[in-house]
Amino acid sequence: MIDTSVFQLVCFYAFAAVTVAAALGVITLRNTVHAVLSLVLTFFSTACIWLLAEAEFLAIALIVVYVGAVMVLFLFVVMMLDIKQENVREGFIKYLPVGIVVALVMLGEMLALIGVRSMHQAVMGADPAAAAGMSNTEWLGHALYTQFLLPFEIAALILTVGVVAAVVLTLRQRTGVRHQQAAQQVRVNARDRVRVVKMAAEVPAAPLSAPGKETTP
Query: Contact at 8 Å (CB) between 11 and 116?
Result: yes
Q: Which helix (H) or strand (E) holds 73?
A: helix 71-81
Pick the closest to residue 36 from 85, 65, 79, 100 (CA basis).
Answer: 79
Region near another protein per CB under 8 A, out of 46-54, 95-103, 107-115, 155-163: 155-163
- Of residues 91, 144, 148, 188, which one binds another protein by CB under 8 A? 148
For another protein, the closer CB: 47 or 106: 47
Site for another protein (CB under 8 A): how many residues?
A: 18
- The reply on whether position 154 binds another protein by CB under 8 A is yes
Region near another protein per CB under 8 A, out of 15-23, 77-85, 161-169, 193-201: 161-169
Query: Interface mask (CB under 8 A) for another protein, residues 168-187, using x and -?
Result: xx------------------
Q: What residues from 7 to 66 belong to the interface with another protein (CB under 8 A)?
A: none
Pick the closest to residue 41 from 104, 93, 91 (CA basis).
Answer: 104
- The reply on whether position 126 binds another protein by CB under 8 A is no
Q: φ, ψ for residue 43 (rounded to 5)?
A: -60, -45
- Of residues 70, 107, 119, 165, which one binds another protein by CB under 8 A? 165
Its sign, for the CA torsion 67, 71, 72, 75, is negative
Q: CA angle, 28 as apex, 23 and 32 as ends, to 5°?
A: 90
- The reply on whether position 146 binds another protein by CB under 8 A is yes
The radius of gyration computed from the CA coordinates of the chain, to the nearest angstrom, equals 33
Q: Which residues bind another protein (CB under 8 A)?
A: 146-151, 154-155, 157-158, 160-162, 164-165, 167-169
